[in-house]
Structure 1
Amino acid sequence: MKKNNHPVEGPDGLVCTARLPLSSATLNWLAGLIRGHLKKIRSRWRALPQGRIAALVLAVLRCDQRPGDLAGGNGIHRTTVTRWVREAVGLLAARAPRLDRALKKIARQGGGMVLLDGTLIRTRRRSGKENRKNYSGKSKCHGLLVIALTDDRGRLLRVSAARPGRTSEITACRHDQLTAKLRAAGLGAIADLGFVGLDDSGPDTGPAVITGYKAARNRPLTRGQKLSNTALAAVRAPVEHGFAHLKNWRVLGKVRTDPTWATALVRALLVLTNREVSR
């Protein structure tokens, strides 16, 4: 009896094509960005043309395709696809807006407020002590905390660095000196109850961060406070749309790579998201 020990994944495996739910303009723009980078570093040869490299990168980011599967279908090695993805993510992340510049742009356009919120990006459970800091007691899972700012229409302006899941939203904002930069730009922010206590302004200073009212056991909300919370929730609704656009990139479903790479990944996806939404 002859044993058949051929690997399932290999050069002899089946190859299929799939449709990416992205515009050709985004593909061509990313291919041009890669082409300019190769010209800058004087790299005269790659295993595939820039257009196909861009398509592989977008397939990994949008559909969370395994690099090994894409590599087998294109006759290259898995590490080559991984290197191309990281190279493209670095190029995209470098084009992400800075916090102070994003706020000044909103102020120049006549805007008076931004929307503030945080979300948890799930990660794999790590072993040892590295497992503890990424566990979020609020969400009951392991992940990385990301703070985002959007305009009043829900368009993403800026995302913060990815921090361990146990970090509170207020701590992340204070680390970025958010309230000081909001006042410097002459803007205000509307946030949910998770940001209560962030704004430590004095009684004679206008609040930089506006939140709702929290109820306590011995202090229920009044009717006016409930109406205020309802109005703020309606104003804050577009920020959830911004996060929905960002999480359409399935690579954020569960980050399986080094968490230190997550900051560049999220900022790269911010750039791609803005191009798709503005289109």
Structure 2
Amino acid sequence: MPTKTVPAGNHTELVYQCRLPLSTQTLRYLTGLLGAHLKKIKSRWRKLPTGRITVIVLAALRHDQRLADLAGGNAVSRTTVDRWLKEMIDLLAARAPRLERVLAKIAREGGSVVLLDGSLMSTQRRTGLPMRRRWSAKHKRHGLLVIALTDIKGRLLWTSTARPARGSEITACRHDGLVSRLREAGLAAVADLGFVGLDDDTGDPAVITGYKKPKGKKLSPAKKLVNQLIAAERAVCEHAFAHLKNWRVLTRLRLDVKWATRLVRALMILNQHEIAR
């Protein structure tokens, strides 16, 4: 039996305001960076002022706001917001330092130790072989593995290329030749038990880790104490990753994975400015 439905009425788009918990220093830095870039490429105009564009990009990165929603609230198209976001990621990622320069700077300033850790960046689940490579048996979800170095105060110094999570942290470090570069700079890295076996030189290791508990046995009191001391030193490294993941765009990456490395490095630069205020 046919039925008649009543129309819902006129469609109205609602726009709301949302607090963005970032400093004005970060906003000024990003606005100046974009303004200098537009001047360099001789861009005559944009649909919105540079300050407004910066706020839109920061909202996408900090709150993981959907680009279509940001576009609708600012009377621009989704592709325009997507282009602004990727342009800003490129500008920031280009300022991320290379590994050799980071290690050389620490050695030049009299440092002797850095902190090493890895973290999983979740991605959306899709079909196909690439997704099988992104499956992490440790975390039981799909994602990309990122290795990072921090100083003893917990400030992020360098992040690696984002690689499929199926590989281990040790494999990712060997791709970057991390151990040999640490030795060249005369530095050592303190890491967790996931990096046991990365450095085969037990006499003078460049990567210092704790002791794993043998199967069916217990650790001696001395080894337990060593593990506690290493864990205490590494606490600030865990805090650095926690600050990085305050950018909710990393909660579950919706961008194309080819942007993952540049995204993490861009957020590292933003984090440095936000923490240094």
Cα 1:93/1:6, change in 2 over 3 Å: farther
Q: Does 1:251 align with 2:255?
A: no
Question: What is the alpha-carbon distance in structure 2 between the residues aligned to residue 179 and residue 6 of structure 1?
Answer: 64
Q: Answer yes or no: is 1:29 the counterpart of 2:34.
A: no
Q: Paired residue for 1:3?
A: 7
Equivalent position of 1:238 in the other structure? 236
Distance in 1, matches of 2:128 and 2:221, equals: 49
Task: Supply the distance in 1 between the matched residues of 2:92 and 2:274 (Cα, whole angstroms).
Answer: 14
- TM-superposition CA deviations, 1:7-41 (whole Å, max 9, x none): 6xxxx411111111001111111011111111111
1:214 to 206, 212, 215: 212
Unaligned runs of 5+ in 1: none
Report the secondary structure of 2:86's partner residue. Answer: helix
1:86-97 aligned at under 5 Å gives the runs: 86-97=86-97
> For the residues of structure 2 that align with 1:18 and 1:220, how far apart are their CA atoms?
52
Q: Which residue of 1 aligns with 2:131?
A: 131
Q: Quote how far apart the aligned CAs of 1:259 are.
A: 1.1
Distance 2:69 2:76 in 1: 10
Alignment partners' CA distance in 2, 1:90 and 1:26: 17
Which residue is equivalent to 2:187?
A: 187
The 5 Å alignment of 1:78-227 reads 78-201=78-201, 203=203, 206-227=204-225
Q: Distance in 1 between matches of 2:133 and 2:66?
A: 27
**Structure 2: how far apart are the matches of 1:261 and 1:5?**
41
Runs of 4 or more, structure 1, over 3 Å off, are 4-7
Name the CA distance, whole Å, in 2 between partners of 1:275 and 1:202.
38
How is 1:58-97 mapped onto 2 (pairs within 5 angstroms)?
58-97=58-97
Amino acid in the other structure paired with 1:238: V
Alignment partner of 1:273 out of 264, 271, 274: 271
1:219 shift after superposition: 4.3
CA shift at 1:184, angstroms? Answer: 1.0
Amino acid at match of 1:163: R
* TM-score calculated relative to the size of structure 2: 0.95
Structure 2 residue 45 is the aligned partner of structure 1 residue 19: no
Structure 2 residue runs without a partner (length 5+): none
Q: 1:140 to 1:200 in 2, by over 3 A?
A: same
CA distance, structure 2, for counterparts of residue 55 and residue 87 of structure 1: 14
CA shift at 1:106, angstroms? Answer: 1.1
Aligned residue pair count: 273
Shift in Å, 1:2: 5.7
- 2:262 matched residue in structure 1: 264
Residue-by-residue CA offset, 1:107-137 (whole Å, 9 max, x unaligned): 1221110000000011111112122000000
CA shift, 1:4, in A, is 4.0
Q: Distance in 1 between matches of 2:21 and 2:177?
A: 37
Query: How far apart in 1 are the matches of 2:102 and 2:222?
Result: 34
Separation in structure 2 between the aligned mates of residue 106 and residue 192 of structure 1, nearest angstrom: 21
Task: Measure how far apart 1:201 and its partner are.
Answer: 2.4
CA distance in 2, matches of 1:197, 1:209: 9
- Shift in alpha-carbon separation, 1:5–1:134, aligned structure 2, 3 A: farther
Distance 1:189 1:44 in 2: 48
- Secondary structure at 2:144 match in 1: strand
CA distance in 1, matches of 2:262, 2:65: 19
Alignment partners' CA distance in 2, 1:73 and 1:117: 39
Letter in 1 for 2:264: V
RMSD: 1.3
- Whichever residue aligns with residue 275 of structure 1, its letter is H
TM-score normalised to structure 1 length:
0.95
Letter in 1 for 2:86: R
